[in-house]
Amino acid sequence: MARRGFTVKKDWDNPVEHAMPAEARVPAEVRLGAVVVRPATVLAPMAGVTDTVFRRFIRHASLFSRDQKTEIREQTTELRNQRTELESVDAAISNVESGCGLIMTEFTSADGLARMRETKRRRYLTFYDDEHPIGAQLFGSNPETLAEAARIVEETGFDTVDLNLGCPAKRVVGCNGGSGLLRDLPKIGEIFKAIRKSVTIPFTVKFRMGWNDEQIVCVELARMAEAEGLNGLALHARTREQGYSGQAQWHWIAQVKQAVRIPVMGNGDIRTPEDAAAMAAETGCDAVMIGRAAPANPWIFRQIAQYTATGSYERPTNQDRYRMIRAYFEMLLLEAAATKDLPRDARMGDPVGKMKQFATWFTHGVPGGAKLRAAIYQARTGPDVLSEVEKFFATQGDGSVEVDVAQEFPEVALVCD
């Protein structure tokens, strides 16, 4: 049985180690209606994780392995001006530089979205030009409300809209949302019809195998999605009862793939490029969707693309980890500075709290990472957090770049004091 509350775990239960299969790679692209996802890798929607800062962070993760000190300073200047551009890449080598083909928002309540003021919608639906292609995920149980929320998503400029039928959280299931709807396929059919009629952008659904092992509905649900004109689907190969525990049952992804002609995205237990390739080989899925591995290893999309193209991939050094942590924290502070004069509903939340949340993800596997986490948890301001990061990595084997935080980011210091 999964843990109470179904909190997203930062580790895996007895993970299976996969070798790189010779006969398959992650596809170079997948088409969701008119939207081309290249390469066929997707950042899964995760509550409390995939906000605009993290999405752009993942989109540009390839920038965080540069070697020259001057390039780090150039990078932070680009972030400050919010003008970071994707590097030109060759699609034939599976977009080896940018890595992630489609990014997704946190799941958003359709009921809340339909009721909230325009300023508050901005907070939940904000995205930047460099995030395309981007999909917005909705949850709810009322077909008309979901249809209205989907129209808002389309009018806002998102490339796709996705329906959440996978969240196992009690507060969501208790409202008959998320995986709670897996017990009511007729209602899901009504929702599919309503949303499909309301928007012209590609419409996808993310769901689990079923409520429990005795109620597996994924194949039937996939056929319903295809019949109602959805453009793709993603299966998290666990039941609601499993939450995030146990093993993902990839054979159900294969069965869904065999049952429909629309694109199938596989999700569950992809921790490494080898895992991604193994899922593609074992299931025939058209794309892979990655959730909790992304905040633990933000390089994973680039690594998958490199592995697909060359059969090998770069592993992060301590210097890479330093730059990654610092870059994300700086992005949080700069976003807070950029939104501080907006109405309260539209402002970014507490950046220091977000830093502390992500410290657990980012220091996973870092030698002595517990000390850095403890120091970050005790810090009171954003510049204090960055200072602790500087001090920690200055003691690591391959060093770090010394930067005066207050001098480089005076606008950040003003926001966080």
Other beta carbons within 10 Å of 277: 25
Same domain? For 179 and 237 the reply is yes
| 12 in a structural domain | no
pLDDT at 14: 65
Question: Greater confidence, 115 or 118?
Answer: 115
Q: Supply the pLDDT for residue 210.
A: 92
Name the most confidently modeled range: 127-131, 273-277, 338-342, 411-415: 273-277
152 and 266 part of one domain: yes
Q: Does 407 fall in a domain?
A: yes
In a domain? residue 18: no
Higher-confidence residue: 241 or 188? 188
Can you give the pLDDT at residue 313? 87
Query: What is the DSSP pairing of strand 35-37 with strand 30-32?
Result: antiparallel
pLDDT band at 264 (very low <50, low <70, confident <90, very high): very high
Residue 306 pLDDT: 84
Prediction pTM value: 0.82
- pLDDT tier at 410, thresholds 50, 70, 90: very low
Average pLDDT of span 351-379: 85
What separation in angstroms does the CA of 104 have from each of 50, 206, 281?
A: 7, 11, 24
Using the predicted structure, report yes or no on whether residue 298 has a pLDDT greater than 70: yes
Q: Are residues 331 and 366 in the same domain?
A: yes
Would you say residue 289 has pLDDT above 60?
yes
Same domain, 278 and 412: no
- Higher-pLDDT residue of 78 and 136 is 136
Query: Does any domain span residue 25?
Result: no
The answer to whether residue 299 scores a pLDDT higher than 70 is yes
| Residue 33 confidence (pLDDT) | 97
CA gap 398, 344 in Å, rounded:
42
The reported pLDDT for the residue numbered 87 is: 32
In a domain, 7, yes or no: no
The answer to whether position 176 is within a domain reads: yes
Q: Domain range spanning residue 67?
A: 30-310
Clarify whether residues 302 and 347 are in a common domain.
no
Q: State whether 340 and 278 are in the same domain.
A: no
Residue 409 pLDDT > 50: no
What percent of the chain shows pLDDT beyond 90?
A: 41
Q: 395 or 117: whose pLDDT is higher?
A: 395
Q: Are residues 137 and 265 in the same domain?
A: yes
Q: Is 167 a catalytic residue?
A: yes
Q: How far is CA 13 from the centre of its chain?
A: 21
Alpha-carbon distance 62 to 73, whole Å? 16
What was the pLDDT predicted at 95?
43
Q: Is the pLDDT of residue 222 over 60?
A: yes
The arithmetic mean of pLDDT across residues 180-201, rounded, is 96
Final residue of a structural domain among 291, 310, 329? 310
8-state DSSP, 286: S
Average pLDDT over residues 340-344: 75
pLDDT of residue 194: 98
Question: pLDDT category, 339, cuts 50, 70, 90?
Answer: confident
Q: Clarify whether residues 384 and 406 are in a common domain.
A: yes
Query: Which band of pLDDT confidence, cut at 50, 70 and 90, is reported for residue 173?
Result: confident
Q: Indicate the pLDDT class of residue 261, thresholds 50, 70 and 90.
A: very high
Residue 105 banded pLDDT, cuts 50, 70, 90: very high
Residue 234 pLDDT = 98
Whether the per-residue pLDDT at 107 is higher than 60: the answer is: yes
Catalytic residue among 167, 218, 285, 416: 167
Number of domains present in the structure of the chain:
2
Q: In what order do the strands lie in the sheet with 287-290?
A: 41-43, 287-290, 264-267, 232-236, 203-208, 160-165, 134-139, 103-109
pLDDT at 196 over 50: yes
218 lies in the same domain as 325 = no
Asked whether residue 245 falls in the same domain as residue 388, the answer is no
Of the three residues 265, 280, 310, the one that is the final residue of a domain is 310
Banded model confidence at residue 168, pLDDT cuts 50, 70, 90: confident
CA 392, chain centre distance (Å): 27
Q: What is the CATH number of the domain that holds 112?
A: 3.20.20.70
pLDDT, average across residues 54-79: 57
Mean pLDDT, residues 363-369 taken together: 80
**49 with 187, same domain?**
yes
The larger pLDDT score, comparing residue 117 to residue 241, is at 241
Q: Is residue 402 part of a domain?
A: yes
Residue type at position 117? R
Is 24 among the domain residues? no
Asked whether residue 248 falls in the same domain as residue 276, the answer is yes
Last residue of a domain, one of 276, 310, 344: 310
